[in-house]
Structures are given as structure tokens and as C-alpha cells.
Amino acid sequence: MRRLLWVAAAVLIFAGVLIAQRPTFRAGVDLVAVDVRVIDKDGHPIVDLKPGDFQVEIGGHKRSVVSADFVRIGTSTLSQDTGPRAGAAPETAGVAPPPDDGRFVIVAIDAMSFDSTASRGVAAAIARFVGGFTPQDRVGLYTFPLGPKVEPTVDRAEVERELGHLIGQADDTQAITIAPSELVDISAGDPLATSRAVARNCGAAGNPAPMRGRGESGGRLGACNPETCAGRVLCEVGNRLLQDEAGAVASLGMFGDFLRGLGHAPGRKIVVLVSAGSPTSDRPGGRPDLGALPQELGGQAAQANAAIYALFLDQHLLSQNRAEHSKGLGGSTDQGRDSAVLQQWLSLFAGSAGGVLLTDLVGDGDIVFNRVLSETSAYYLLGVAPDTEDRDGRARELKVKVSRKGATVRSRTWITIGI
């Protein structure tokens, strides 16, 4: 009996030692993958961030960042593993970076914003841009309202071939020269803007017609009279306002259909919108007025899980001052405001989509295209631990910040987490 008691005691002691030495595993945590691009002031990816450098909010509440993996496009493995994996939860494996199959990029071209001359240089710049992607990247084209369309492909030759068919659809045969800001100001009832436009197009003898009304939607711009030069200027302003508003609504409506369709494609997409802009009022009572359409398009882009780069290629001064325009604008208007009026809708769209607006004021876009290539060449894949209340299938606002001084974060602005 005494021997049995000693054996039993030895077994209990040995079992206690085994229990004490057994590794303790942390309970599994279901993580949500959030892709984020973090760049410096020159657009180059920042490569050495840790999980603790990120602050993530879902629906206004802070959430823990468990892992942060840096993934460089064009490589088969992680460039840097910057954080531990969480526990042994089944969903954790889904946070690990997928095999590198490159970027999914759509170049959307606003053909109505370019005239036939400008579109040739833009097409060549886009071809150079497409040639800068890696062999794994899939690149497609979507031109609206009309023009070349290519499904995302690794075949660069097909994309470049279709770009050869790009033709700008802006009207470059207008009888009078009106700056974008003047269009807004005249529609808002500004007599100085009217006088300046009439003097430029009619000479010193052209007397401005009296303004009647504030130029609001449905109001009169002034005396449209085809029998006088000043009256013809005002007739042309009225016609151009109607054309710009109707054309923009129709064209951007097609772009909205494209964004909704893009939402059915799985994964994260990059949409590079190329445009020379369209006049949009920046003052009360002014026209053209697109209402909330730019913001609605931005919301559709966010819902489609698309990273938006809106590229504004300012062409208006070049087109107005070509040799065929005998009454070029020269330095007679505020060129900075003209550019702001043209890019207004792009700024509203990009802001609503959580994207970025890049501008090129002097060329066909090579500078901003190279910036996009640099910014999208790498990203961080964050493993974020959501709260139970986040898992109800509803869209919630997503905010990502980093503690690194001088860093800029590009990320989606909405997230939906299933049950």
C-alpha cells in the first residue's frame, strides 16, 4: 500500500510538471484585412512601419492592429514581416498577404474634357504610364462617354493599340472665347465679368447688354440678341451653360454605371481617372451646377472598394491660345481660378471616394502618372481586430492614421464586416 501511494504521488507530481511546462496559447482572434498605402512627401512607399505605428478606427471606435505586413508589388514574397500573427484562429490565415498577382488597374478617360488635338498627347502619356506596370499587373481602359474600352489584361500591346483610337470629344470650334471662371461669374450676374468677355470678343465698340436676374437656374442671363455682338456673346454663354450641364450629367452618369459594375469585381481595385476637368460653379447662384453628382460618384467608388486617383490635366489655357483662336485669353483672366473651376468636380469626387486629386498644369500627365506608379508599388496589409458590434454586415466609416511624421495614408474610407 505504501508503495502504491508513492507511485500515485510520483504520477501526480510528474503530471503537474507537464501541465506547468505546456505552452499556453492565446485565444484566437478573428482579424479583418485592411490594405493601406503609406507614402512620404515625394510619393515613395515608407517601408519600416510596425503595428504600433498604425491607429485604426471603425465606426468612430479604436480597434487594435495586430499585424502589419509590407507587400511590394512585383515580388513573390513579403519585403518585410512587421508583426506577429494572432493566435490560431481560422480566419487569421486570411490576413496573410496573398500570392503577388499584381495590381488591378482601370484607366478611366473623360473624353469630353479633351479636344481632338489634346487627346493625342494624353493617349501617348497614358501609353507610357501603362508600360510602367509590372508583368503581373492587369490594366484596362474605360473611356466615357465614347471611346476605347479594354477589360483588365496583362497584354500591354492590346491596351496601347486601343489607345490609338482615343479621340477627344470637346468642342474646339467655339466662336467666342470665355474663360471657365467667366462662365460662372456671368451666369451669377457679375457685370464686370460680362463687360470683360464682351470687350474681348467684340472690341471696344461692343457694349455689354444690361444684366437681368442673377443667372440662377431658370433665370435670365441678360439680353441674348443675335443681332448685336454683345448679345451674341450672351447667347453663346447661355448655350454653353446648357451644353456643359447636360453633357456632364450624361457623361458622368455613364461613369457612375461603370463604378457600380466595378463593385461586382472581387478585391481591391485602382481607378485612375484622367480628365481636363469641366466647369463647375464655385459661387452661389453660379452655373454650371452639377448638384451632388460628384459626391454621389465618390460614394459609388468607395462602395466598389476602389482606390481613386483623379488626375487633372489642365489643358484650357493651351487650347484657348492656339493659333486658330484669334481672341485668346492671354493673361486677361485669373488662371488659378480657371483651373480651380475646372477641377472642382474632380476634387469633390476624389474627396468623397477617399481618394486623391493630382494635378499637372503644364503637360500631358507624365508627372502625375509617375506619381501613381510610385504610390501603388507597395502597400501594408493590416490585421485589425474588430469588435463584435462591427460584424453586422453594415458599412462603417474607416479611418487609418500613422504616427510617422510627414507620412500620408491612402486607404478606403468605408468597410463592411460580415457576421
- pLDDT tens for each residue of 370-396: 999 999 999 999 999 999 999 998 889
Residue 308 host element (H or E):
strand 306-313
> What is the signed CA dihedral for 367, 373, 374, 379, rounded to 10 degrees?
150
* Whether residues 383 and 284 fall in one domain: no
* Whether residues 340 and 400 fall in one domain: no
> What is the signed CA dihedral for 169, 172, 176, 181, rounded to 10 degrees?
60
pLDDT tier at 171, thresholds 50, 70, 90: confident
* Whether residues 246 and 318 fall in one domain: yes
Q: What angle do CA 232, 235, 240 make, to 5 degrees?
A: 125
73-90: pLDDT as tens digits: 865 333 344 444 333 333
Whole-number Å distance between alpha carbons of 159 and 341: 32
* Whether residues 408 and 294 fall in one domain: no
The helix/strand/coil state of 342 is helix
The model's pTM: 0.81
Domain that holds residue 406: 32-95+377-416
Q: Output the domain CATH number for residue 76.
A: 2.60.40
User: What are the helix and strand counts (H, E) for the chain?
Assistant: 10, 14
Out of 54-68, 83-97, 182-196, 359-373, pick the least confident.
Answer: 83-97
The helix/strand/coil state of 84 is coil
Residue 11 placed within a domain = no
Whole-number Å distance between alpha carbons of 393 and 395: 7
The helix/strand/coil state of 312 is strand
Percent of the chain with pLDDT over 70: 77
Q: Output the domain CATH number for residue 268.
A: 3.40.50.410
Residue 318 placed within a domain = yes
Indicate the number of domains in the chain. Answer: 3
